[in-house]
Structure formats: structure tokens, C-alpha cells
Chains A and B, each alone.
Chain A
Amino acid sequence: MSLVRIIPRLDIKGPNVVKGLCYDGYRVLGHPETFAQKYYMEGADELFFQDTVASLYQRNNLLEIVSRTAEKVMIPITVSGGIRSLEDIKIVLRAGADKVAINTAAIANPSLIEEAAKKFGSQCIVVSIEAKRRDFNTNQRYKNYDRYQESIFISPKYGKYEAWVDYGRQPTGVDVLEWAKQVVDLGAGEIYLSSVDRDGTGEGFDIELVSEVANNSKVPVIACSGAGKIDHFKEVIDNGADAVSAASIFHYYYSETVESEFMSYNEDQLRMGKQIDSGNVEFLNFGYGGYDEIQVEPASINEVKNYLHESEVEIRN
């Protein structure tokens, strides 16, 4: 048995850490360096940086953040978002990342995983999978899938979970379980598995999803999305997760609530606006879909680790 890792996830937009719900709507929380430093000191085992705008612009900004963080934070950092080529990987590693996570470009061109693993070693190539439960009532969406299936050769119609790309914005028709097997054969060193449905909800991990992927994977699977209270960590580890990643539960513990509707944020204090600041604001602030407030019970990294330790989960403490 290996030690289970706890990996805080920082979703980054421009200069800020943001947190949304189901990959939409962003609450601006503070600066990534401030969070990263705090999490490092508190005993995080690794950090995961997710660029939310897929680096279509502001790439240099992200690289600066990574670089400044890596100077002070002596634990492994994985960077995800907008990585499309071997050259991109090199640039991100050079900036200070230890690993890169690839989603969109890997699905569009699976051989990128193979080439990247060969060039940089499997140990630094993580494949990120954004899984969403299939909604069989909206089959209409499937009409655009051809370009993905050509490269993947997987039947799109049957699996329970579908891989999404572009930070939870685009369905692909690709079956998550099949894809998870394929990426390991191509040389992925780890799988970072998140759930578009559970992201930010605090409802708990999608146990069925994690368990199916993790128990059929030869490489470690990092489970993400849904941690809302301490018990959720134990539950997902018991069901096969090799490492656990979480955002809101930690972010909200270390942030202070402020009354503000800022669209951006530029001070060192970590904060938690009452309103969600950007993205699909109406959807989030006014309750469409029922998610109109934070449903997590914030916890520190220490509390999570102590709880796991007492529950006889092997961790670094």
C-alpha cells in the first residue's frame, strides 16, 4: 500500500484563484502564490494548477505564477490547461512544473501522450479526464462527434460516463472507462479524474466513476470533484482513489468572507466573495439549478489528514 496523497487544486483565471460550480461561474478567491504557499506549509503532498481559460491568452501570466510558486514550494506541482504540444510541455516544465496534465489535446490527438511520455518520461505526463454522466435524453448533441471518434475508435453510444474537453465546455462522445484504459497503454503516468457534475457542489465524489476507473487502472488515479466534508475523502479512498484532489473545501477554510461583487481581485488577502464574480453569474447567484450557495463544510489540510490517520488510511503526517 502506498501513502495516499492530498492534492489541493487551484483553478486559475488571470492572476487569481477562482472556484466555480460544475465548471461554470467563478468566485475570485485570491492569489495562487498565496494559496500555494499556505498549502505547502500546511502539509499538502502536491499541488494541482488548472488554467481555466485553457491558456488561449495570458499564458505568460500562468507561467510566471508557476515559476514564482516553484521557487518557494518544494513539493511537486502539476500544471493543466491548454497544453497542446511537446513544446508546450517543455515550456511548462521549464517554468517549474514537475508534471503536466493534458485533456483536450490528448483526446484530439492521443499520440501526443505517447510522444510526450517518450520524450519526458511517463512520470511527468498526467492525463486529465473531465467526466460527465451521460444524459441519454439529449442524443442530439452527438452529431458533432465524428472528428473525435476517428482518432479514438471507441463507440460513443453506450458508456455511462463521457469525457468532456475545454474545461468542461465540450462533450466528445468518448467513453471515460475506455479512454482511461487507452491512455495508460499510451504511456500516461497518472490519471487525474474529475467530474463535471460534482465540481464545486460539495456533494461528495462520484464514487461509481472513481471506483470503476481506479480499480481498472494500472497507474495511480487522482480523484477530484465533490469533496464537501472530511468523510468524503475516506469514502473515495476506500473506493480505490490513489490520491485525492480538492479545491473548495480547502479554499473556503483559508479564505475570509467579504461583502463584495468585485469582478477581479488584486490583494494578498484570501477572500471569498458572497457573490460569484464572473462567468455565468446569473446561473450561480440566482439559484438556477438549485446551486445558489456554497455547500461545503470547510476543513484544513491538517483536519483532513488527522481524520484519515485516525481512520487508518496511510498518509504523510
Chain B
Amino acid sequence: MAIKNNKVTVIDYGMGNLFNVVRALESINCDVYVTDDISTIIKSERLLLPGVGAFEDGIRDLKENNLDNAIKEFAQTGKPLLGICLGMQLFMTNSEENGIHNGLDLIKGKVIRFRDPNDHNDKYKIPQIGWNVLSPPNKKRNGLGNKHWDNSILKDFDKKLYMYFLHSYYVVLEDERVCLSETFYGRDLFCSVFQKNQIIGCQFHPERSGEQGLKILKNFLSL
């Protein structure tokens, strides 16, 4: 599918480093608007919610500026909405990071922490920092496998997908059919990409995941 237009609005709500998301989008010739203005957000062609840091701070910062309602209103338009890392987690019903905190509830489910290693033989650490693989979800669980990558943000990938992750928490979906890819870390298999209609979440950082990451952002432009 051809790219319809190249406008992306990036929400600036004070959580972490927006600069590299913006830079990556500019490198694929996007018109990037970085804003916290509610009417601009609602009228966007497509919206990106980035973010690193704690869930509690993230949702508080959104609410303080009434951006939570702006995002919900935008979501109703059916235009593409992408959450990256904490942005993805904020779409969920709630998170158990530092107590239970409610999220935007655009996607039903929760955010939980990786389980700690069992013993000294388990050689993984939390947070997960580094590259990991995206795999189509287990067919038995969602009944679809990678068939539904076709018109999604993961379309046109033909080889092993490595992406850069940086997180201690991950999303658990109520409806696993919206899960597009799974990733294994430590003792947990988690959803690394979901897409429900035009609401998309990526747990990894496409803006720091080399050429394949840029391709995901390009796919976002063509949704």
C-alpha cells in the first residue's frame, strides 16, 4: 500500500526522550508535529505516544494536561494511533507498576512485571535491555498465527525481526487475538506488538532498531 500522507503528531507530555523518535520519523521524510495541544492532537492524521519511565508518572502527566481525553477522542476517529514502550502500556486498562494505576483503557488488559530469575542458573536481568526477536503468536492461542500481519504494522517483513527493548513491565491482553507478535524474555512470553483496528502498541523502540525499526515506522505511515 502506498503512503497516504506523511504527517505524524507526536505527543509531548514530559516523559523521556522524544528527540530520537522525532529524528527517526524525519529520516523517513515525515512531517512531524511535536505538541501537547489538545485540538491539534484530536485533529491529527496519525498520532504517536512515545514515552519511557514509570507508568504512574506517565498517566499523571497525561491527565494533568487533559491529554488522556484527547487521546481517547482521537482513538474514536479510527485514524492510526501508535504507542511505543510506555506509550503502549498506557493504552491498557491498568498497570501494577508501583501499585495499581489505571491507564487509558483503550485496550483491555493489564501491565505486569517480568518474573525474577528462579535461581542463580537463570542468567537474565531485569530490565530487559537489548535486542530481541518478534515471533508470530502461537496459533493455538489466537487462532491466527502470522496471517494477520498482512495489513498490519508488521506487513511485508520476510525475515527474522530483531528490535531493541528497554523495559521491566509488559502488557497482558484480555483478548489475545489482537496480539501481533510475541517475544520471550527470562521466564515470560509476552506480547511485543498488538494492533486492534488502528490502535497499535510496540513494546520495543522502532526508532532505535535499525533499518527494520524504520520499516515499522514506515508501515505506520501507510496504515
Contact = CB atoms under 8 A, between A and B. Distances in A.
Interface string B149-165: 00000000000001010
B208 A74 contact: yes
B27 interface: yes
Given A45-B130, A74-B207, A2 B124 contact: yes
A123 B166 contact: yes
A67 to B, nearest CB: 9
Interface in B164-223: 164, 166-167, 185-186, 205, 207-211, 213-214
Contacts of A45: 130-131
A214 to B, nearest CB: 9
Contact of B127 (A72, A75, A123, A240): A123
A121 B129 contact: no
Contact of A98 (B20, B127, B210): B20
Give the size range of B's interface with the partner. 20 to 34
Given A242-B125, A316-B162, A124 B131 contact: no
Nearest to A243: B130
A218 B122 CA distance: 12
B208 A71 contact: no
A317 B126 CA distance: 23
Given A74-B24, A98-B20, A124-B16, A2 B210 contact: no
A121 B19 contact: no
Contact of A2 (B17, B24, B128, B162): B128
Contact of A124 (B52, B130, B167): B52
Interface string A110-128: 0000000000111110000
A71 B129 CA distance: 22
B129 A96 contact: no
Nearest to B125: A220
Contacts of B52: 120-121, 123-124
Contacts of A76: 164, 205, 208
A243 B52 CA distance: 22
Contacts of B214: 74
Contacts of B162: 3, 316
B53 interface: yes
B19 to A, nearest CB: 6
B16 A190 contact: no
A5 B128 CA distance: 12
B16 A70 contact: no
Contacts of A218: 125-126
Given A75-B208, A96-B23, 15 more contacts: A2-B124, A5-B131, A74-B24, A76-B164, A76-B205, A76-B208, A93-B19, A96-B19, A120-B17, A120-B53, A121-B16, A123-B166, A190-B129, A220-B129, A243-B130
19 contacts: A40-B210, A70-B23, A74-B207, A74-B209, A74-B213, A75-B209, A120-B17, A120-B52, A120-B53, A121-B16, A121-B53, A121-B54, A124-B16, A189-B127, A189-B129, A219-B125, A220-B129, A242-B125, A316-B131
